[in-house]
Amino acid sequence: MNKIRPWKMILAVTMILSLLSACGSQGNGNANAPTTPKEDATNSATDNATPPDPLGKYAETVTVTEVLGYNPPEDPRTPSGITPEQNAYLKDLKEMMNIEVKYKWTVPSAQFEQKFSLAMASGDLPDVIEVDQKTYEKLKKQDMLADLTEAYDQYASPALKAYMDSDGGFAMKTFSADGKQLGIPAFEDPFLSTQLLWIRQDWLNNLGLQAPKTIDELEKVAQAFTNNDPDQNGKNDTYGIAMQKSLFFWGFDVRGFFNGFGAFPSVGDNQSAWIKGSDDKLLPGLIQPEVKTALGKLQQWYKDGIIDKEFALKDENKAVEDLTAGKVGISYGEWWYPNWPLNSSVDKDPKADWIAIQLPGIDGPAKSLVPKIRSNKIFVVNKKMKNPEAAIKMLNFYIEVGNKKYKDKNQAADGYVYNWFNPRIANPADIDTIYTEVNKALDANQTEITIDDANYKTVADTFKATKDFLAGDTTNASKGVNWGQYYSRAAKDGGWGLTRQIKENQQFVYNEFYGLPTATVVEKGGQLDKLMQESFTKIIMGGSIDDFDKFVDSWKALGGNQIIDEVNEWYSTEATK
């Protein structure tokens, strides 16, 4: 299963350490240097006449240390108590390439950002790191990044190259400077960010309602969900629409709601999204008048009890609790909801029947905001590293083991935890490959999928779950889990199925800015976040709607105007239009 998780959840960093340790500028005497071989024999690939083998084995062990922020293994069949050190992928990596991974530290991913900040502050930088755009920019500025051009050209496997070329080299170009490739982006289909509306069909049926197409219809449905006992348990214990304190986040937020009003405040990172204005300038979506209209509606819904009175206290986990407990029947979000957390809702209440619909708008279905590029994970290599190509080889390794011949081996039950392995790049067209291949096999009534390349594992997993779900077979996984895989990836009216239709029918608006955070965003972003969160939350909770105008003024004065200039400067010089 290769679930593409929301970017905030993926915070893992890889570190490959060969000949250096304790390299921090402060020279801490901590010389726990792993034994490292002389690499002369294997590292002279550049002078070698024979072309280097992307999957070749080092003659002597290259020791690699990593740091990792990890989530629990996704597959319930994973042996309990397994640690990242015991991940079976690492054993195979050693066998296949003679690269040995050692973890310097591992923390639950929630603590990763902080731990990594500290590691950075103490100059204790690993060799190969998974970074976000912001960190990438920092490291680039300090000239800490190795040039990967050569290593990539020589060592990248055809599969890796095909992935990177799949967007015409757009993402790779974004992470290069002066002809040097400074990072390998793990980018994904930007349409994965398409906002949908998830709603409980069984509740609609109970109340004799239709799936809403407009905001007004949605309001009626949500009101009925709040007041008319949609779960028919005789108690007034439900409300309309899930929401949490971060208004623009990676899930259970209200990005889609704003899109319904033609407002495009953010792609989910609290920073503004940028839409094209009439004079070929980019406008910050966050401060457009449509946002005010949407906030006004949200304020009314808050008053009516359609959204949780205490949403401002609740994080995404609390919102998820309400969804799975059957307390709320509507949530804005992306294609993957059935995979998590709606699968738990189905397992808890077998009657729960979630469907995806296009965002309700003012007069009919509305367009979703979509980023131009979706890449918040970039693999970079420390300049001091002796074997930058080892990072590329590890990427090759992960793609390689997705092939059919490894199928019986890489089972979660045997300790293969894919989301702990780094560096790891999935097919950017992963989801669409799954969708097309599974549907092809279904339509032809096949019992096996025919594809036989690096995508085998992910396609086969979904196909199996789909078959099981359609046959009502719960021997391998629960109904919810099977349904989740099927309805998120393969169903024609499901998460990705609907997203494809939205893409085909041009029902989207691009966030035109895809550059790295500008100088002012890096410096003032935190304050602008605070200002936005505070102002918007207060308005929703009953403040004066005209405070929005004050917010716009403050936003501009606090650095917004500079950001507008910087973004437009970028747009006129660097953007590919």
Partner 1 sequence: MKSLKKEYPLHIMLIPGVIVTLIYAYGPMAGLVMAFQQFEPLSGFFKSDFVGLDNFRYVFNLPDFKQVLWNTLVIAIIKMVLSLLVPLILALLLNEITKKWFAGFIQSAIFLPFFLSWTVLGGVIIELFSLNGPINGLISSIGLEPIMFMLDNGWFRGIIIGSDVWKGMGYNMIIMLAAITGINATLYEAAEVDGAGKWKQMLNITLPGIAPIIILLSVLGLGGILNAGFEQILIMYNPTVYAGADIIDTFVYRLGMFSQQFGPAAAVGLFKSVISLFMVSTTYYAAYKFNNYRIF
- What is the binding site for partner 1 (CB under 8 A)? 24-26, 113-114, 117, 120-123, 125, 134, 138-139, 142, 144, 245, 309-310, 312-313, 522-523, 525-527, 530, 533-534, 537-538, 541, 558
Cβ-based neighbours of 444, under 8 Å, separated by 6 or more: none
Nearer to partner 1, 308 or 400 (CB): 308
Q: How far is the CB of 429 from partner 1 (least distance, A)?
A: 33
CA neighbor of 469 nearest in space, from 297, 343, 311: 343
448 CB burial (10 A radius; 0-12, 13-18, 19+): exposed
Nearer to partner 1, 177 or 313 (CB): 313
Q: How far is the CB of 181 from partner 1 (least distance, A)?
A: 20
How far is residue 93 from each of residues 15, 54, 58, measured CA to CA in Å?
15, 13, 11
Alpha helix segments (H runs only) across 242-374: 255-260, 289-304, 316-324, 342-348
What the block records as the tokens of 271 is 């920073």
Q: How far is the CB of 196 from partner 1 (least distance, A)?
A: 27
Q: How far is the CB of 230 from partner 1 (least distance, A)?
A: 19
Whether 253 and 243 have beta carbons less than 8 Å apart is answered as: yes
Strands 364-365, 360-361: parallel, antiparallel or unpaired by DSSP?
Answer: antiparallel
Nearer to partner 1, 41 or 118 (CB): 118
Crossing angle for the helix pair 495-504 and 430-443, nearest 10 degrees?
110
Count of other CB atoms within 10 angstroms of residue 297: 20
**At 75, is the secondary structure helix, strand, or coil?**
coil
Cβ-based neighbours of 343, under 8 Å, separated by 6 or more: 478, 480, 481, 483, 484
Nearer to partner 1, 246 or 293 (CB): 246
Cβ-based neighbours of 7, under 8 Å, separated by 6 or more: 132, 250, 374, 376, 377
- Residues in a beta bridge with 275: 283
How far is residue 16 from each of residues 130, 135, 404, measured CA to CA in Å?
11, 18, 28
CA neighbor of 134 nearest in space, from 120, 148, 122: 120
Give strand ranges (E) for 359-406: 360-361, 364-365, 368-371, 378-381
Q: How far is the CB of 451 from partner 1 (least distance, A)?
A: 42
Nearer to partner 1, 91 or 104 (CB): 104
Nearer to partner 1, 138 or 492 (CB): 138
Q: How far is the CB of 171 from partner 1 (least distance, A)?
A: 24
Q: How far is the CB of 289 from partner 1 (least distance, A)?
A: 23
CA neighbor of 257 nearest in space, from 282, 221, 293, 283: 293
Nearer to partner 1, 43 or 246 (CB): 246
Nearer to partner 1, 280 or 310 (CB): 310
For residues 247 and 327, give the distance between their C-alpha atoms in angstroms, rounded to a whole number: 20
How far is residue 117 from each of residues 131, 137, 368, measured CA to CA in Å?
11, 14, 34
Whether 410 and 400 have beta carbons less than 8 Å apart is answered as: no
Nearer to partner 1, 173 or 309 (CB): 309
Q: How far is the CB of 556 from partner 1 (least distance, A)?
A: 13
The 3-class SS string of 502-517 reads HHHCCCEEEECCCCCC
Q: How far is the CB of 144 from partner 1 (least distance, A)?
A: 5
Nearer to partner 1, 151 or 532 (CB): 532
Nearer to partner 1, 120 or 207 (CB): 120
